Amino acid sequence: MRVLPISPRGYCHGVVSAMSTVNRCLEDPTVPRPIHILGMIVHNRFVVERFAAQGVVVLESAGASRLELLDRVDSGTVVVTAHGAGDDVYRKIAAKGLHLVDATCRDVRRTHDEVKARVASGAAVLFVGKAGHPETEGILAIPGVILVENLAQAQTLPLPAVPLFIANQTTFSIKDIVPIVAAIQARRPDAEVGAEVCDATRMRQEAVVRDAKEADLLLVVGDPHSNNTNNLVRIGREVARVPTERIETYADIDPAWLSGVATVAVTAGASTPTDVTAAVISYLRRYDECGIPDAGKNCGSR
């Protein structure tokens, strides 16, 4: 069985920067304690667990907004995650006298700046994104932004009679953005488009389309909360048209998936730790070498 690691995969610059920011806080005794992260610093439980083990307080609760999570913090430091936050969150952090550390991804920050500028110019902004995602939550805090989640909404949503600007969540699927934007422009040809998936997300999606077609099976390593991971799964299935499974670790691999597989491709979401993906690749190579579904065994002991 051939193992095909797809490149690029795994950590993007925004994730590396966010993690480095938290590590610097931990190393700096002058940073007020306790250190809180406003949500998952990146959408991967292994990253979150590693920081929690070092005493970082991760504030995360299903359905709770960033503003609501701040109600749990009375002192210390608040780290804004790579996904960014709305101005209302920053105002509340300042009002509570908390120390702010901002780990917002530069691509997300660029989107915020562009959307604010367009709204200030009198335009309405249509934001293509996923409801409930922290990046979307931050953008929707800007007055004048309308969320568009899917093609059906793009075709039927009432459009304001003012200039329109289209932006999008940086981790959204290229496959989904193109028809959504086309549907809006079919109704409003004058709508300006700034919609752009961040380079890291785009390159990982394009690599799956390009390389996974060679495989009989694609494994996407990542957290179920990771939007870019889930989009890689969809692209593998719907664009590359190869059987695709999402896993968190090699322990999630069902040996039945590998039956009759000549080539298995492996990629990973932009927030997946490198060592976790490396363990998956190592397992698959040992599986092939030893013919046994147990990465803990070695061939020489049989």
Buried-exposed string 12-44: b where 16+ CB fall within 10 A, e elsewhere: bebbeebbebbeebeeeeeeeeebbbbbbbbbb
Torsion angles phi and psi, residue 217, rounded to 5 = -155, 140
DSSP labels, 65-92 = -HHHHGGG--SSEEEE-TT---HHHHHH
**Contacts by 260-263, CB closer than 8 A, 24 or more apart:** 260/216, 261/1, 261/216, 261/217, 262/1, 262/2, 262/216, 263/1, 263/2, 263/3, 263/4, 263/214, 263/215, 263/216, 263/217
Q: Which residues are catalytic?
A: 135
Length of the chain: 302
Helix/strand/coil percent split, the chain, to 5: 45, 15, 40
